[in-house]
Amino acid sequence: MQYELRLHRLLLAILATVITGIVLLFFYLSSHPADVWLEASISLIVVIAVATALVYMGVAEGIVALQFGLRHKRELLGYVLLSLLSATTGLYLAMSESESLKTVALVASPHAFLFGIAELRISQHLQHHPRQRRALLLFGTCEIMLAIALVIGNRMSTYHVATLLGYGATITSLQLLAFLFYKYQRVERGISGRMFQRV
């Protein structure tokens, strides 16, 4: 059980790092482009970064899926499907002739939707933790709404799509970091409690 929890936490840590990197990139490129050439260059940089991140996550999810093995068929199947989705969308972005942020928004929408569904699903198992349950319900709903907004992003201007992607990545990154911190806190409490019992 501890091994499986460590695998989940490792993948969440990798995901948090990747998304945080994308957030920092968006903040770095948040200046308003003055001309069409600069706007196209910024779009190309973002597309390359997101495509690389998705392929990297696909590989990581595939490795984690193999670590679970056939004993945990649900986790194995879930991570294999996530791996295929991440790698496929990343390769699609990499090979796409369009370097539009609208394409990035369209590709990112299924990931936001799945993350929202996962949060809603986790909240169902936290009846004894009402504060965490409410937070997961709220953020899960926000992620699903974000996914819908990313799909509708084709009708927005490039600047508004970039802003939406930046805010979405920031919200997701903060949630992942908070979730990881909460798990580390629980582990530390468990270790200190066992040490106190031995003394």
Give the Cβ contact number of residue 152 at 10 Å: 12
| Locus of tokens 């031995």 | 198
DSSP state of 124: T
pLDDT at 113: 92
pLDDT value at position 197?
37
The CB density around residue 151, as the number of other CB atoms within 10 Å, is 16
Q: What local confidence, expressed as pLDDT, does residue 144 receive?
A: 92
H or E element at residue 122: helix 101-123
pLDDT in tens, the chain (199 residues): 566 667 767 777 888 788 888 777 777 766 555 566 666 777 788 888 888 888 988 988 888 888 887 777 888 888 899 899 999 999 988 887 766 788 888 888 998 898 889 888 888 877 777 887 888 898 899 999 999 998 887 788 777 888 888 888 888 888 887 777 765 444 444 433 432 333 3
Nearest to 99 by CA among 53, 150, 52, 45: 45
Helix (H, G, I), strand (E, B) or coil at 149: helix
Contact of 70 with 56, CB cutoff 8 Å: no
DSSP-based three-state secondary structure for 98: coil
| CB-CB contact of 18 with 57 (8 Å) | yes
Residue 141 and residue 116 in contact, taking contact as beta carbons nearer than 8 Å: yes
Give the integer Cα–Cα distance in Å for 91 and 88.
5
Query: pLDDT value at position 105?
Result: 87
Residue 113 contacts residue 151 (beta carbons within 8 Å)? no
pLDDT of res. 84: 92
Q: Classify residue 162 by burial, with Cβ atoms within 10 Å: 0-12, 13-18, 19+.
A: buried
**Residue 148, pLDDT score:** 92
